[in-house]
A = this chain, B = another copy of it.
Amino acid sequence: MRRHGELRYLEEIEVQPVKVLITGGAGFVGARLARTLLANGRIAGESIDELVLADQFTPPRDLLAHSRVRALTGTLIEQSAKLRDEAFDTVFHLAAAVSAECEADFDLGMRSNLDSTRALLQALRAAGNTPRFIFSSSAAVFGPDPGLPMPPVIRADTLPTPQSSYGIQKFICEQLVADYTRKGFIDGRNVRLMTVVVRPGRPNGAASGFFSGIVREPLNGQAAICPVAPETRVALASPARTVQGIIAVAEASRQALGGRIALNLPALTVTVAEILDALEAVAGAQARALVRFEPNPAIARLVSGWPAVFDNSRARSLGLEPDPDFHSIVRAFLADRAAEPTLLC
């Protein structure tokens, strides 16, 4: 009888599929993360049996067509009630309203970023299997408070004083993830993304969108507007390095992560002028000539409040390095576009 019981137990273990959830899975970073996970086939040493993409929008067709992908379409608050009945092994929580939206509509930001995250965390707590939970926070948690000038270099222990509702909401969610982790409801990890450049497609309402636009549009032969001065600095990362960082944080042991405070992904610091120099070096003077400077004080105020220089040593201890230079980012965008033109327009 005892041996029979053991066999049954082993059978039950074997039939539990490894399930991964990506919220915001139809977005650019979410879809790229999904493709990378499907190509790897594994996460933290385990084969991925099912990849669930939750989003307000339908995922790209290549992902929808994949045999291991299931799409959940609707708001995260609606979906969270159903997610209580599913045991995910790993959850990547990328869904969010972006910075300019949250600044224009305070209640939308609170609902989309704070209430949705709480609903998701409560669903995972109810499911009861302590999944790895990777929360995509943002470098936008940092900003210069009237009483606290921003340090020249952002370190792991720099106090964030967010100067946007988006940054506040991200920082609040980091706190929730830390406490849900401490309580044993999830195995949470907060990872702060840098500005992702070059994003494909159309501008998405983020105040940082032009950093991609001033490269992407000229490479497509179109004019682009730069709303900030050429000397404006930005801490950025390519889509590939961003996804690599998110996965590394998901796969790291808790000991390697070193505590519950958020990990700043490695950042390449460049000026707008250096971005345009790289554009010109790769695509010629006629590409650069398509960029016109047209100052937008609202965007300039937001962007100038973001930190531009990060101490990358904690990320480096996880094996993560910033992009080497902006030239490589332009070339990678062109290579991606050549390989998968339908995914990038």
Contacts and interface: CB of A to CB of B under 8 A. Distances in A.
Interface stretch (A66-74, A218-226, A235-243, A257-265): A257-265
Contact of A159 (B157, B163, B165, B258): B157
A105 to B, nearest CB: 11
Given A168-B176, A175-B162, A145 B183 contact: no
A179 B162 contact: yes
A77 interface: no
Nearest to A180: B106
A148 B159 contact: no
A306 interface: no
A331 interface: no
Contacts of A157: 148, 159
A183 B259 contact: no
Nearest to A151: B157
A158 B161 CA distance: 11
A337 interface: no
A326 interface: no
Nearest to A263: B147
A206 interface: no
A172 interface: yes
Contact of A259 (B147, B175, B179, B258): B147
A251 to B, nearest CB: 17
Interface in A149-167: 156-163, 165
A176 B165 contact: no
Contacts of A182: 163
Contacts of A179: 162, 165, 168
A313 to B, nearest CB: 13
